[in-house]
Amino acid sequence: MVAQPNAEVDWSGFDPEDYLRHNYAEVGAEDRDLVGSAREFFGERCAGRSDLRGLDVGTGANLYPALSMLPYCRSLTLYEHSPTNVAWLREQVAAGWPSWSRAWGPFWALLAEHPAHAALADPAAVLARRAEVVRGSVFDLDPAAGGWDVGTMFFVAESISTERAEFTAAVRRFLGALRTGAPFFLAFMENSEGYEVGGVRFPAVRVDADDVADSLDGVATEVVVGRARSDGGKVRDGYTGMVYAHGLAR
């Protein structure tokens, strides 16, 4: 595989509508398990809160990580690097999430199995009010300027370059943007060989559960690393499963 650092990737070629159609037109078994795990983790760690500042890094066209935090947050920063994804997200916010009916209702139904989510009668409207779309690279997250109270980052650190060092740096930059003790939930494509969106090939680095645990060493506490359950179906070729991790930022 040819080395492809993050800085050499043309992220203006990322097509969010193609990504949405291909990955979230229906709820796959692995995503179902991730949604349930995030729902229960945040339900326990954020119980009774509605005033937190949430951060979702690399949102793109995947809303369910941010939605998993929504009941507990007074504001949600959707932090995204690709200019096409940023434009798409801003259009979605301004229009009250028109993609909701095409994708996010079934995901919300899973989240609403928890009473904190079920209490939000119009989650799309709530998300539109609380979300702020910010363009930026994960490597530009400034610990001194952040201090977010809760965070998610799904399918980002391993999916932005072929470099193992950049994978670790991305995880640690994300954790550094959270305040000490902030709950977080991460997800990764296991052993990804790269992926195609709208006919454009994007890089990845192969990681497994041990690599995820190593990347969190010294920057998080109460870490749990697991593997999403699958029924054998895959959202695409070229990966072996989905790994998740949750814990508290150190």
pTM summary value:
0.97
Q: Residue 12, Cα to own-chain centre: how many angstroms?
A: 19
189 bridge partner residues: 242
Dihedral (C-alpha) 54, 151, 36, 33: value to the nearest 10 degrees?
140
Cα separation of 226 and 209, whole Å?
Answer: 7
Per-residue pLDDT of the chain (250 residues), as tens digits, is 689 999 999 999 999 999 999 999 999 999 999 999 999 999 999 999 999 999 999 999 999 999 999 999 999 999 999 999 999 999 999 999 999 999 999 999 999 999 999 999 999 999 999 999 999 999 999 877 669 999 999 999 999 999 999 999 999 999 999 999 999 999 999 999 999 999 999 999 999 999 999 999 999 999 999 999 998 888 899 999 999 999 999 9
Q: What is the CA radius of gyration of the chain?
A: 16
Q: Do the Cβ atoms of 13 and 82 come closer than 8 Å?
A: no
Cα separation of 57 and 60, whole Å?
Answer: 9
